[in-house]
Structure 1
Amino acid sequence: MKTQSKKAMMIGTLALMLGTALAACGSNGNNGSSADNGAANIQSANGAKGADGAAGPNGGTAAGTDATASPDLSKHVKLTWAALGDPPKDFDAVKARLNEMTNKDLNADVDFVWIGWGDLDSKYPLMLMSGQNVDMIYTAGWLDYSGNAKKGAFTELTKDMLDRYAPNAEQKLPPEAWSNATVDGKIIAVPRNFLEYQDAGLAARGDIMEKAGLTTLSNLDDVETYLAAAKEADPKVVPFNTGASVGDYPLTSFVTRKKALVSVPGLPANMLQFDPLETKPQLTSSFDDPDLLAAYPKIRDMFLKGYINKNVLNNKTPSRDAFKAGQSALAAYGDNQFRDAYNDINAAHPDWRVSFQSFSPEGPFIKLAYDSGMMAIPSASENKERALLFMDKFFSDPNYYMLMIYGIEGKHWAYTADKSQIEVPAGSDPSLYPKWQYPWGFGDWVGFNKPSTTDYPDYAKHVEYMRSAAKDNPYANFKPNIDSIKNEIAALNNVFLKYGGALAYGAVDPDDALKKAAAELKAAGYDKVKAGIQKQLDAFTPGS
C-alpha cells in the first residue's frame, strides 16, 4: 500500500487503523486466532437450538416444507467460488481432489476465481454488482456485507432453503450467529460457528532486534529504533518495504489497537469507528482521532529517513513477500498468518530468529461477532441451491473441511500418532499448501479444526490469554440506517481514499494533508454523517 491517484488511495479505506486483515480481516483478511489450536475461541456454538428446541435460526421446519426430501441433483453443474488472496502453489492438486468429492456427492464441479489482496478494493465490489456468475463469496463486516446486502448483492437464505439444503449448518450455528448474519430481517449468509479473538502485528528479525537493543516492538518509537538498526545493517535494503495490500497497513495500528475500535457497519471500512467497551461510545475517524494525529508526524519522519519505500502507495508487493525475500526487515501479519508462515521463514532464514510482535499484546481484545467471517451466495448465482448444499458439506463432512484447510492428507499434512494434532509429513514442503485458513466464513471449525505441531513459540499461550481477556461486543448487532446519507457517504469515501493511506504511511506532509482533508470532509458532509450515526449509536441498547 504512490501518488495521490484515487486507485491507490482506496487502500486507505479498506485497511486504515486495522493493521492487517489482517482482517481481513484482515486477509489477508481474517487472521485472528480460532477456537482450535489449544486455545478456546468458541462460545456457545455446537448443537445450538432455537428457542423451541428445534434446530436452526427460527427453530423447527416451516409448515408445508419436506426438509427430508432429497434435493434434485440430476443436472451436473459447475459452482464458482470467489476466493480472496492468491492460490497456494499446490492448489490445483487440492482442487482436483475436491472435484472428485463434489462430483460423487453433489454432481458438481467447483471452480475458483481469485481476488488478490492488492485488488480487493476494486474487484470485490465490481464482482458483486456486475452480475458475474459467482456462486459463493466470502463476506464480513470489514467488507461491508450490510451495505452490499442492502444493494441486493446477496441471495436471501430463507428458512425453507436452510431446512432443505443446509440442515447441518442450521443445527450447528447458534441463534446469535444467524442474528449477526441478518440484514433488514433477511439472512444473507452462512456465518462461522465460533467467536474469534483477533490479533495482528509484525514479523521482526531477532538479529536486528538484538543489534537495536530491543526485546519487543511495543510502540512507534521501538519501530523507528528497529528500522534505523536495519538500515545501518544493510543500507541497500528498505527497512520497511511494503505495498498496496490490505495486510500492509500496520504503523497506525500501534496506536489504534491500544483501543477496541470497531467500524460502523454499512460504511466503507474504517470510515467511522467507535469503542464498544466505552459506556457512551463516541464516533471517531482517522482525521480527528487525537492519538492518530499525534502519530502521523512520527510516521512521516520515518518515511523521510528512507525507512519506508517511496513507492509505498503504488507498490503491490505485500511486505510478507518482501520480508521472506530478504528485501524488508518487517512484515505485517495476523497471528494465524504468522503461525502458518513461521516454520517456512525459520527454515529459510534460521539466523534471523524471526518473531511475532503484537501491536497490542495485552489487548484490549474484542470477541469478533459471527459476522466477521461468512459465506454468501451472490444474487447472480445460477446454482443457489447446489451452492448451499456444497457449503453445508463443510458442517457435516470433515473430509471437505480438512481438504480445504490443510490440503491432501499424507501429502500436505498428517495426524500425529494420537490424532490430537496436525503435522507436516516428513520430507514434505510446507510451502506447497500452507494452512492457509481460507474457509474463514463457514464450516464446523469447532468440531473439525486441529492444533498444529508447527505453531510458533508462545502461540498457544498468547491465544489462551486473548481467550481469557476478550470482552463481548455489546454493539455487535448495531446496524445504522444510512439511507438518508448515502450521497454524503459516497462523497466522504473519496476524501478518505485520497488522504488516508498517504497519512498512514507518511507519504505526505501531515499538517498540509490534514488541513486540505478537513476542508474537503466538511464540504462532503462529514458533520452530517457523523451526527446522524452518532444519534443512532446513542439510541442503541447495548446487548440487544
Structure 2
Amino acid sequence: MHMTKKAAKAVSMLLSIIVFITVLAACGSNNNNGGSNSGATNAPKETEGTTTEETGEKPGIDTSKKVELQFYMLGDAPKDIASIQEQVNKMALEDLNATVKFNYTSWTDWDQKYKLLLGSGQQVDLIFTAEWTQYQSYAKKGAFQPLDEILPVAAPTLNSYVPADMWEAVKIDGKIFTVPATYKEYVTNGFVWREDLREKYNLPKPVDVATFEQYLEGIKKNEPTMTPLSMNSDVKTNLMDVYKSIAHTPIGALPYGIEVDYKTPSDVTSYWGSDAQKEDLVTMKRWQDNGYMVKNVLAVKDTLQDQVTSGRAAALLGDNPTRFNDMVIKIQATHPDWKLGYHPFPLTNGIATPVHPIHNGFAIPASSKNAERALAFYEKMVTDKRYNLLTQYGVEGKNYEIKDGYYSMIGDSNSNGFAREGMNGWAWRNPEYMLFDKNYDGVKAIFDELDKIQTPDKFTGFAEDYTAYQAERAALEQVEKQYLFPLNAGLVKNVEDGLATFMEKANQAGLEKIQAEYTKQWLAYVADQGIK
C-alpha cells in the first residue's frame, strides 16, 4: 500500500507505542484510567464552573414555572440511569426549577428514530448532534433553534467557556445551532484484533487490508467456533465506509456514492458503479464466502465491540482509539488473559484529522418550548463539576474510585451499572474535570503521535441543502437498503450483475439529479472556503 513519507516516519516511531498498547492491554490488571489530560484545549479557569454552586446565584432567565426537559442521547442507556437522573434532578430542581428525563434511542435503527424525533414535532429539548447525524443538513432545514441570542443570557458561563473559533466553526448560514465539545481527540479508525490469538498462531499484525485479511484467515483456520470479523446490520457505516477509509483516501463518508479524494477536493467523482467499487465488493464477497462474517449479518443488531469483548468475534475492521481503550478496560475485568492490539489507519494512509467541533454537540430542536432552561441546564452539565462528574462517571465510591489520580471502575462491566462515560456523554466532556483510566496513557501516546502528522479537517463545515431533491433522496435510501446492502455484505452471488441492478434502480430513483446538485453545492463550498 502506498504510504506518505510522513506516515512512514510515524510508523517507525509508533511501532513501540503499538507494542506498548498491546502489552498494556495484557498486563494492566486494574481498571485504571489515565490521569493528566493531554487533550485539554481552552479549559475554563478553576472557579468558572463552580460560580453558581458557591454563590447560589440563579441564571438571568425566568425559572418561576417548573419544567421537565426531554434530553435525547443516541445508543443504549446505562443500567443505573434512573438513580443518576434522580440525583441530577435534585440539583436541577434547586438550581433551575427544572427536572430532566434522559431518553435513549438504542443503536438499532437509531437514524430512523432520530429522523422521527426531529420530524414529528414531539417535545424534545436537547438532542445530540454530529456530522454523522447530519447536523449540517438538519440545521440548514430549520430543525434546530439558533442559539446566538439566548446563549449570553441563559448560559453566560458556557458561552465564554467554549472558544470563539469553535462557535464560529459550528455556524451554519452564519448562525450557531449546536454547543460543541471542547475536548481535542482523534476519532480516526484503526484495526482492532485479539493480540493473544495473533501471537498464539503467529499471524501477521494488521496494518493494511492485505495483512488484516491474512489475520482473519488465520483465525478462521485456527478458531473454527469464532467469527473472525465482528459486523452488524449497519454495513453502510461499519463496513463500507470504514473499509474505504483504509483502502482509499476519501475525505470522509460522503452520501449518494460521491467520492472526493482528500488531496484533490475539487475533483468530484462517483464511487458507485466504478471499478474501485466493484473491486471492493469482490473483496466483501470473498470475506463472506470465506466465512469471515456471519451469513445473517444484515439481521445482527449487537454492537461491534460487544462481539469482541464477549469472545464471539476476533477483530474489528475499524474503531477509534478511545473506544478501543474502553474495550481494553472491559476485557481486563472479565478476561485478564486476553490481549487486544490496535493500529491506527493514519499511520498507513497519512491522514490524521483531529475531530471538527461539529463532531460532538447538543442542539435545541425547533419543537422545544423550553429553550432557555434547556441551555441553562446544559451549561450545568458542562461547567458545573457536580453535574459533570455524576453524568460522566456515575457515583464515586459506588461506580468508580480514584487511585493515584486515575479513574478505576468498581467491579466489572457486568456488575457495574455505570461504566466510564456510561451515558455516551461525549459532547459534554470538560477537559478540566475528565478522569482517565491508566490504559488511557496509551491512547494519549497515539494522540501525541497523530499530532505530528495531523492535517486539518477542512470539509466538515459543508452543509448540504437537499430541498431540491428530497423525494429522490428518500427513494434512493430504499434502493440502497434493498440492493446495495446485500452487495456490501457479500451476499450477492454475481457482483457484476448485482452492481448493474443496483445502478439501474438508483438511476431510476434519481441518482443523477442528486449527484449533480450535491456536486454543485460542494464545489461552491470548496471555492468559497478557498480550499485547494
Instruction: Indicate the TM-score class for this superposition, using the shorter chain for normalisation.
Output: 0.7 to 0.9
Report the Cα distance in structure 2 between the residues aligned to 1:424 and 1:441, rounded to whole angstroms: 18
In structure 2, the CA distance between the partners of 1:529 and 1:428, relative to structure 1 (3 Å rule), is closer
Report the Cα distance in structure 1 between the residues aligned to 2:205 and 2:416, rounded to whole angstroms: 28
Confirm or deny that 1:96 pairs with 2:50: no
TM-superposed deviation, 1:131: 1.6
TM-score of the superposed pair, with normalisation by structure 2: 0.81
Please, which runs of 5 or more residues in structure 1 have no aligned partner? Answer: 1-35, 49-66
Among residues 516, 526, 529, which one is paired with 2:501 in the alignment?
516
Confirm or deny that 1:74 pairs with 2:59: no
In structure 2, the CA distance between the partners of 1:483 and 1:87, relative to structure 1 (3 Å rule), is closer
In structure 2, the CA distance between the partners of 1:316 and 1:279, relative to structure 1 (3 Å rule), is closer
**For the Cα contact (< 8 Å) 1:197–1:368, is it kept in 2?**
yes
Q: Which residue of 2 aligns with 1:165?
A: 154
In structure 2, the CA distance between the partners of 1:481 and 1:181, relative to structure 1 (3 Å rule), is same
> Which string of whole-angstrom CA distances, capped at 9 and with x for unpartnered residues, describes residues 49-90 of structure 1?
xxxxxxxxxxxxxxxxxx997322222221121111111233
TM-superposed deviation, 1:126: 0.8
Report the Cα distance in structure 2 between the residues aligned to 1:142 and 1:428, rounded to whole angstroms: 27
> Which string of whole-angstrom CA distances, capped at 9 and with x for unpartnered residues, describes residues 142-181 of structure 1?
111222223332222241x111111122112223322333
Report the Cα distance in structure 2 between the residues aligned to 1:440 and 1:290, rounded to whole angstroms: 41
**For the Cα contact (< 8 Å) 1:137–1:376, is it kept in 2?**
yes
**For the Cα contact (< 8 Å) 1:192–1:440, is it kept in 2?**
no
TM-superposed deviation, 1:310: 0.8
- Secondary structure of the residue that 1:131 maps to in structure 2? coil
TM-score of the superposed pair, with normalisation by structure 1: 0.79
In structure 2, the CA distance between the partners of 1:308 and 1:428, relative to structure 1 (3 Å rule), is closer
Report the Cα distance in structure 2 between the residues aligned to 1:428 and 1:236, rounded to whole angstroms: 24
In structure 2, the CA distance between the partners of 1:344 and 1:300, relative to structure 1 (3 Å rule), is same
In structure 2, the CA distance between the partners of 1:524 and 1:282, relative to structure 1 (3 Å rule), is farther
Report the Cα distance in structure 2 between the residues aligned to 1:271 and 1:502, rounded to whole angstroms: 16
- Secondary structure of the residue that 1:329 maps to in structure 2? strand
In structure 2, the CA distance between the partners of 1:39 and 1:248, relative to structure 1 (3 Å rule), is farther
Report the Cα distance in structure 1 between the residues aligned to 2:256 and 2:161, rounded to whole angstroms: 31
Report the Cα distance in structure 2 between the residues aligned to 1:292 and 1:433, rounded to whole angstroms: 42
Report the Cα distance in structure 1 between the residues aligned to 2:411 and 2:312, rounded to whole angstroms: 30
Confirm or deny that 1:403 pairs with 2:390: yes
Q: Which residue of 2 aligns with 1:262?
A: 252
Report the Cα distance in structure 2 between the residues aligned to 1:140 and 1:384, rounded to whole angstroms: 20
Q: Which residue of 2 aligns with 1:206?
A: 195
Q: Which residue of 2 aligns with 1:278?
A: 263
Q: Which residue of 2 aligns with 1:287?
A: 272
Report the Cα distance in structure 1 between the residues aligned to 2:413 and 2:476, rounded to whole angstroms: 50
Q: Which has the higher helix share?
A: 2
Q: Which amino acid aligns with 1:95?
A: Q
Report the Cα distance in structure 2 between the residues aligned to 1:202 and 1:512, rounded to whole angstroms: 31
Q: Which residue of 2 aligns with 1:498?
A: 482
Q: Which amino acid aligns with 1:342?
A: V
Q: Which residue of 2 aligns with 1:107?
A: 97
Among residues 110, 117, 141, which one is paired with 1:120 in the alignment?
110
Higher alpha-carbon deviation: 301-310 or 234-243? 234-243
State the percentage of identical aligned residues. 28
- Secondary structure of the residue that 1:448 maps to in structure 2? coil
Q: Which residue of 2 aligns with 1:317?
A: 302
Count of residues paired in the alignment:
482
TM-superposed deviation, 1:137: 0.7
Q: Which residue of 2 aligns with 1:367?
A: 354
> Which string of whole-angstrom CA distances, capped at 9 and with x for unpartnered residues, describes residues 24-49 of structure 1?
xxxxxxxxxxxx97664456x4579x
Q: Which residue of 1 aligns with 2:76?
A: 86
Q: Which amino acid aligns with 2:182?
A: N
- 1:110-509 maps to which residues of 2 (within 5 A)? 110-159=100-149, 161-245=150-234, 249-250=238-239, 253-257=242-246, 259-263=249-253, 271-275=257-261, 277-284=262-269, 286-288=271-273, 290-331=275-316, 333-362=319-348, 363-417=350-404, 419=405, 421-424=406-409, 431-436=416-421, 438=423, 440=425, 442-443=427-428, 445-455=430-440, 458-508=442-492, 509=494
Q: Which amino acid aligns with 1:405?
A: Q
Q: Which amino acid aligns with 1:478?
A: F
- Secondary structure of the residue that 2:436 maps to in structure 1? coil
Please, which runs of 5 or more residues in structure 2 have no aligned partner? Answer: 1-33, 46-56
Q: Which amino acid aligns with 1:299?
A: M
